[in-house]
């Protein structure tokens, strides 16, 4: 409820109480929570809303930096003298040199606006100081984008670590390929993708992190031979591959997931059962509560129709239980990597 609307309701409550009606009854009549009435009347009884309020972001802030002060901060950040330094080191050296006149926190905000927060040093690969571009991959249908990664599953002994390779179709979240091995091996990854492409067809893009197995020339060339583009996350950016990371968390937080697997065969058997349940039974929040298998196979439209028919019957039988006619969750729309429409849960 908007603040101006609340203030108006407070006025109605005051008018009713002036006629002898109690505050509790008056609040009930106008639909205003009694706690809200008491809270706001203490601070806003004499408040008069302005007719044309200025949004907070457009108001003149007395403590804001001037254009010249902001430009000085940007100039320090772009200076070749400080190119190898972190933001905090740049700030204090520029401050001691009299080049900037603001707080450290304000300087960080200026750096963030210029996308210069983070490791600003030259990279080991690439021969320059510029950071890798943010990967942006759009996905509007099944088979357009796959995401994959490798995670560890723990065995009975401390040194036992099993590697779970997992590839999912991003649009449907359907696991198109997986395997569990003792080590990360490029040829096994190539074989896994070859089998997945043979079964599901080649995707447009395969997205992964920066692991050695993901960037291996053998795998990149095998994907390219099938017309598949390779996309990679930025170094040390944890949310550039959200779909794979989200599924790994779902796997490891499952109540039936063992803390320690008895053997690699145990890990393989359990993972096979889990991924089957996930694909065919899990009602995914990012898929309109449809299963990955239903979206991947294209049967979700029929499922949604049946849901809507059931809701229509329920609404016809008990309309008093609804504020408005219920609607079945919509089918998933476009998603992708860093497209601001990703839903992973």
pLDDT in tens, 16-39: 888 888 888 998 888 888 888 887
Q: Which residues contact 236 (CB under 8 A, 6 or more apart)?
A: 118, 119
What integer pLDDT is reported at residue 153 of this predicted model? 97
Residue 245 sits in a domain whose CATH number is 3.30.420.10
Same domain, 105 and 26: no
What integer pLDDT is reported at residue 341 of this predicted model? 59
Residue 316 pLDDT > 80: yes
Strand pairing partners for 229? 205
Same domain, 176 and 104: no
- Domain enclosing residue 321, as ranges: 301-334
* Greatest CA separation for the chain: 84
Mean pLDDT over 103-131 rounds to 70
Same domain, 277 and 316: no
Question: What gap in Å lies between CA 162 and CA 290, rounded to an integer?
Answer: 31
Question: What gap in Å lies between CA 291 and CA 277, rounded to an integer?
Answer: 10
Q: Classify 110 in phi/psi space as left (phi over 0), alpha (psi -120 to 50) or beta.
A: alpha
Same domain, 238 and 277: yes
Question: What gap in Å lies between CA 117 and CA 263, rounded to an integer?
Answer: 44
69 neighbors 40 (Cβ within 8 angstroms):
no
Same domain, 164 and 271: yes
Residue 129 lies in a domain: no
Question: What gap in Å lies between CA 308 and CA 277, rounded to an integer?
Answer: 25
What integer pLDDT is reported at residue 230 of this predicted model? 95
Residue 96 pLDDT > 60: yes
User: pLDDT tens digits for 216-256?
Assistant: 999 999 999 999 999 999 887 778 899 999 999 999 999 99
> How distant, in Å, are the alpha carbons of 6, 58, 71, 106 from that of 65?
36, 15, 10, 9
Residue 286 lies in a domain: no
170 neighbors 335 (Cβ within 8 angstroms):
yes
Least confident of 40-44, 83-87, 219-223, 329-333: 40-44
What integer pLDDT is reported at residue 137 of this predicted model? 93
Beta-sheet strands, E only, within the chain: 137-139, 145-154, 161-169, 174-181, 205-208, 229-232, 335-337
What integer pLDDT is reported at residue 101 of this predicted model? 87
Same domain, 277 and 312: no
Residue 321 lies in a domain: yes
Same domain, 163 and 224: yes
Residue 40 lies in a domain: yes
- 167 burial (CB, 10 Å; 0-12 / 13-18 / 19+) is buried
What integer pLDDT is reported at residue 209 of this predicted model? 92
What integer pLDDT is reported at residue 284 of this predicted model? 94
Same domain, 256 and 170: yes
Residue 154 lies in a domain: yes
Mean pLDDT over 72-88 rounds to 87
Residue 344 pLDDT > 60: no
How many CB atoms lie under 10 A from the CB of residue 184?
Answer: 15
Same domain, 11 and 98: no
User: pLDDT tens digits for 169-217?
Assistant: 999 999 999 999 999 999 999 999 999 999 999 999 999 998 899 999 9
Q: How far is CA 118 from the centre of its chain?
A: 20
What integer pLDDT is reported at residue 126 of this predicted model? 47
Residue 186 lies in a domain: yes
Same domain, 268 and 199: yes
Tokens for 145?
């984008």
Beta-sheet pairing, 145-154 with 205-208: parallel
Mean pLDDT over 319-343 rounds to 86
What integer pLDDT is reported at residue 127 of this predicted model? 43
Domain tally, the chain: 4
Residue 295 lies in a domain: no
Sign of the CA dihedral running 142, 195, 243, 233: negative
Mean pLDDT over 306-331 rounds to 92
Helices (H) and strands (E) in the chain, counts: 12, 7
Residue 342 pLDDT > 60: no
Q: Is 206 helix (H, G, I), strand (E, B) or coil?
A: strand
User: pLDDT tens digits for 124-159?
Assistant: 554 443 456 889 999 999 999 999 999 999 999 999
Q: At residue 301, what are phi and psi to the nearest 5 degrees?
A: -60, -45
Three-state SS for 165-190 is: EEEEECCCCEEEEEEEECCCCHHHHH
Q: Is 162 helix (H, G, I), strand (E, B) or coil?
A: strand
Residue 43 pLDDT > 60: no
Strand pairing partners for 139? 335
Q: How does the average pLDDT of the chain come out, rounded? A: 88
Secondary structure letter of residue 111 according to DSSP: H
Tokens for 206?
């395969």
Residue 343 pLDDT > 70: no
Same domain, 154 and 260: yes
Same domain, 266 and 306: no
What integer pLDDT is reported at residue 274 of this predicted model? 97
Residue 287 lies in a domain: no
Sign of the CA dihedral running 210, 213, 216, 221: negative
């Amino acid at each position: 409820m908007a603040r101006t609307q609340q203030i108006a309701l407070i006025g109605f409550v005051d008018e009713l109480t002036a006629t002898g009606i109690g505050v509790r009854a008056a609040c009930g009549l106008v639909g205003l929570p009694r706690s809200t009435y008491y809270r706001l009347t203490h601070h806003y009884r004499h408040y008069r809303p302005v007719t044309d309020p200025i949004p907070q972001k457009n108001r003149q802030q007395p403590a804001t930096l001037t254009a010249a002060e902001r430009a000085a901060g940007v100039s320090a950040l772009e200076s070749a003298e400080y190119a190898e330094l972190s933001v905090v080191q740049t700030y204090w050296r520029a401050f001691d040199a009299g080049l900037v006149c603001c707080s450290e926190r304000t300087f960080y905000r200026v750096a963030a606006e210029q996308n210069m927060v983070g490791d600003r040093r030259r990279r080991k690969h690439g021969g320059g100081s510029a950071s890798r571009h943010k990967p942006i991959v759009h996905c509007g249908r099944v088979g357009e984008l796959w995401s994959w990664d490798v995670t560890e599953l723990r065995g009975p002994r401390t040194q036992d670590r099993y590697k779970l390779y997992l590839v999912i179709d991003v649009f449907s979240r359907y696991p198109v390929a997986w395997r569990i091995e003792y080590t990360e091996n490029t040829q096994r990854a190539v074989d896994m993708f070859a089998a997945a492409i043979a079964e599901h067809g080649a995707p447009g893009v395969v997205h992964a992190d920066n692991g050695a197995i993901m960037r291996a020339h053998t795998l990149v060339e095998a994907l390219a031979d099938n017309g598949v583009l390779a996309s990679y996350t930025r170094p040390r950016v944890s949310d550039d591959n959200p779909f794979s990371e989200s599924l790994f968390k779902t796997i490891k937080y499952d109540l039936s997931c063992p803390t320690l697997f008895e053997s690699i065969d145990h890990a393989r058997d359990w993972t096979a059962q889990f991924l089957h349940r996930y694909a065919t039974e899990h009602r995914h929040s990012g898929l309109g509560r449809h299963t990955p298998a239903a979206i991947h196979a294209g049967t979700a439209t029929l499922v949604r129709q049946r849901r809507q028919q059931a809701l229509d019957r329920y609404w016809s039988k008990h309309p008093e239980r609804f504020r408005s006619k219920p609607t079945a969750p919509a089918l998933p729309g476009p998603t992708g990597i860093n497209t601001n429409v990703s839903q992973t849960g």
